[in-house]
């Protein structure tokens, strides 16, 4: 089997991640910060240690500004629904995932918020001139770090400059870049960074987080028990408690901490180089097959995602053949990003998407190219 669906969820979980989850379930099986016994204290220590690792990994200014969520979607919703006022406006791009587009659609109907989508430049990146024009007076800017359809790594530094000049807070969706592209909030101090643990970081599903430079302007998405200020019925104002209601996913967060250790041991730059190499093989090999159309950013601007279509087969038929005849796991369709497919001209059928991880080899990439060639032939 060759697993090439890593943009959906990583097919690779390091042994240390599995051990960390198992240890937490069997040895630290308690509610963190809710009781006074030793296992509860140890569970709280697991959360604390993982929070420190996330802070260091992204060079966040303060670990109290790292909020754990169940995924990037919850983190994105927290900012989008918790900061944009009635009658405001949001500038985004035409390449966003439904985890951005659906809460924005909700704001549009429920709060009369104007949603402005910047188009694409000729190279497939967001059109910065259009983005600047639409950012003027906006309440929030939302952009992905890399497209989950084309793999295109967004020019976050340039977009951040625009947002700073227009005094617009910026939320970056790092679902496809965390663990694949170096992200340092020291050098790129975006206002909000949403990430997931189960993709490029190769951590457990059900983990993710939000790093907020200024959480005071946000309202919580959920209210409830935090283990702190229990004498009050009002939500605590202290961080991170204000944004972490309910029992934490302690085993998953333990696994996320172990996953970050593994990424640090390899090095994000080494991982990015590996994904660039594999993307280059896939793009070059698929482009040489007659009747195959590649929809992907060039390798140097790619986070490890290569989409393609075939003139004679639907994406679902191609994916089924790859699975049945060659044991290659991939994802066809619209990838929860219909706006992106409309922007690149592949709506409504979508594409077949290959997405690679550290575990994939050069041989895997060439095998995928050979399989597509044989199916087309």
Average pLDDT over residues 298-315: 97
pLDDT of residue 159: 98
pLDDT of residue 226: 85
Residue 313 sits at φ, ψ, to 5 deg, of -135, 145
pLDDT of residue 30: 87
Fold of 268-376: 3.90.1150
- 360: Cβ–Cβ under 8 A, 6 or more apart, which residues? 2, 3, 4, 6, 278
What's the N-to-C CA distance of the chain in angstroms? 22
* pLDDT band, residue 163 (cuts 50/70/90): very high
Average pLDDT over residues 316-325: 98
Which tokens belong to 51? 């929070």
Ramachandran quadrant class, 151 (left: phi over 0; alpha: psi -120 to 50; beta: rest): left
Q: How many CB atoms lie within 10 A of CB 277?
A: 15
pLDDT of residue 164: 97
Average pLDDT of the chain?
96
- Look at residue 91 and give its three-state secondary structure: strand
Average pLDDT over residues 82-86: 97
* pLDDT band, residue 89 (cuts 50/70/90): very high
Q: Domains of the chain: which residue ranges? A: 15-266, 268-376
For the cut 80, the answer to whether the pLDDT of residue 35 exceeds it is no
* pLDDT band, residue 29 (cuts 50/70/90): confident
Ramachandran quadrant class, 124 (left: phi over 0; alpha: psi -120 to 50; beta: rest): left
For the cut 80, the answer to whether the pLDDT of residue 33 exceeds it is no
What is d(CA 281, CA 297) in angstroms, rounded to the nearest whole number? 13
* pLDDT band, residue 272 (cuts 50/70/90): very high
Q: What is the pLDDT of residues 178-208, one digit of tens each?
A: 999 999 999 999 999 999 999 999 999 999 9
Higher per-residue confidence, 232 vs 154: 154
Which tokens belong to 208? 């993710």
CA distances from 245 to 118, 219, 248 (A): 35, 13, 8
CATH number of 15-266: 3.40.640.10
For the cut 90, the answer to whether the pLDDT of residue 9 exceeds it is yes
pTM (2 decimals)? 0.96
């Amino acid at each position: 089997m060759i697993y090439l669906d890593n943009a959906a969820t990583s097919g690779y979980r390091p042994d240390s991640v599995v051990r960390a989850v198992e240890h937490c379930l069997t040895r630290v099986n308690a509610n963190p910060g809710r009781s006074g016994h030793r296992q509860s204290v140890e569970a709280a220590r697991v959360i604390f240690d993982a929070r420190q690792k996330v802070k260091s990994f992204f060079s966040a200014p303060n670990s109290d500004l790292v909020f754990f969520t169940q995924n990037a979607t919850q983190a994105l919703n927290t900012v989008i629904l918790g900061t944009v006022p009635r009658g405001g406006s949001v500038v985004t791009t035409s390449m966003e995932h439904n985890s951005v587009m659906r809460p924005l659609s909700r704001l549009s109907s429920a709060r009369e918020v104007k949603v402005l989508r910047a188009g694409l430049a000729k190279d497939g990146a967001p059109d910065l001139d259009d983005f600047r024009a639409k950012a003027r007076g906006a309440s929030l800017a939302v952009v992905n770090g890399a497209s989950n359809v084309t793999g295109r790594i967004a020019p976050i530094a340039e977009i951040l400059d625009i947002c700073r000049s227009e005094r617009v807070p910026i939320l970056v969706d790092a679902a496809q870049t965390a663990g694949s592209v170096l992200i340092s909030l020291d050098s790129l101090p975006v206002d909000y960074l949403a990430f997931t643990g189960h993709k490029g970081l190769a951590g457990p599903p059900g983990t993710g987080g939000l790093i907020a430079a200024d959480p005071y302007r946000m309202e919580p998405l959920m209210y409830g028990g935090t283990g702190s200020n229990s004498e009050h019925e009002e939500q605590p104002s202290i961080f991170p408690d204000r944004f972490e209601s309910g029992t934490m996913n302690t085993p998953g967060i333990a696994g996320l901490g172990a996953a970050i250790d593994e990424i640090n041991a390899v090095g994000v730059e080494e991982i990015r180089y590996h994904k660039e190499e594999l993307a280059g093989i896939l793009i070059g090999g698929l482009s040489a097959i007659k009747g195959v159309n590649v929809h992907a950013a060039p390798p140097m601007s790619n986070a490890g995602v290569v989409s393609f279509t075939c003139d004679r087969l639907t994406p679902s038929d191609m994916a089924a053949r790859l699975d049945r005849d060659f044991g290659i796991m991939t994802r066809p369709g619209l990838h929860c990003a219909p706006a992106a497919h409309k922007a690149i001209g592949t709506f409504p059928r979508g594409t077949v998407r290959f997405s690679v991880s550290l575990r994939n080899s050069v041989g895997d990439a060439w095998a995928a190219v050979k399989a597509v060639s044989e199916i087309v032939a």
